[in-house]
Amino acid sequence: MIDTNGKQISVYALVSLLLMILIVALLFLSFYPSASELGRSFTLVVVYMIGHYVLLFGGILLFILRMTVARKLSGSFPYVFGAIANSLIGIIALYLFFFHHYTREFLHDALWNLLIGVMMIASLLLTQKNRA
């Protein structure tokens, strides 16, 4: 049985954030700088693009499942992790764009992640508000 109270979701959100920080740190330690002739950060960009699309389509799938079939999915760890991860990708993309480290094409791709992440977080918060 999934406990969907606010405390459990807060713990899942904190664990998701820490897990994302750990994953990013391991990627930087493992793949930067790249030995490729295509640039120092080429491998990181490839890993980012794969992760970006996996999280985007995974978030869309989780959100659609949560809205149609699996109502209990709302408070589960994969749902909270998808919401936090998609939101972080979008927020980091905005930050990098505003400080001229990101191109507009990458920003447009990452804004979809931000939209999905915000929609997932909103559904979590609205579900909790309705249950109280």
The parent domain of residue 123 ranges over: 6-131
Overall number of domains in the chain: 1
DSSP secondary structure of 40-77: TTHHHHHHHHHHHHHHHHHHHHHHHHHHHT-GGGGGSH
Question: What letter does residue 99 receive in the DSSP assignment?
Answer: T
* Structural domain includes residue 1: no
State residue 5's pLDDT score. Answer: 62
Task: Give the whole-angstrom CA distance, residue 116 versus residue 124.
Answer: 12
Quote the pTM value: 0.80
pLDDT tens track for 70-126: 777 767 888 999 999 999 999 988 988 888 877 788 888 889 999 999 999 998 888
Give the mean pLDDT of 37-62: 84
* Structural domain includes residue 122: yes
* Structural domain includes residue 75: yes
pLDDT tens track for 11-39: 888 999 899 888 888 877 777 776 767 77
* Structural domain includes residue 50: yes
* Structural domain includes residue 30: yes
Q: Length of the chain, please?
A: 132
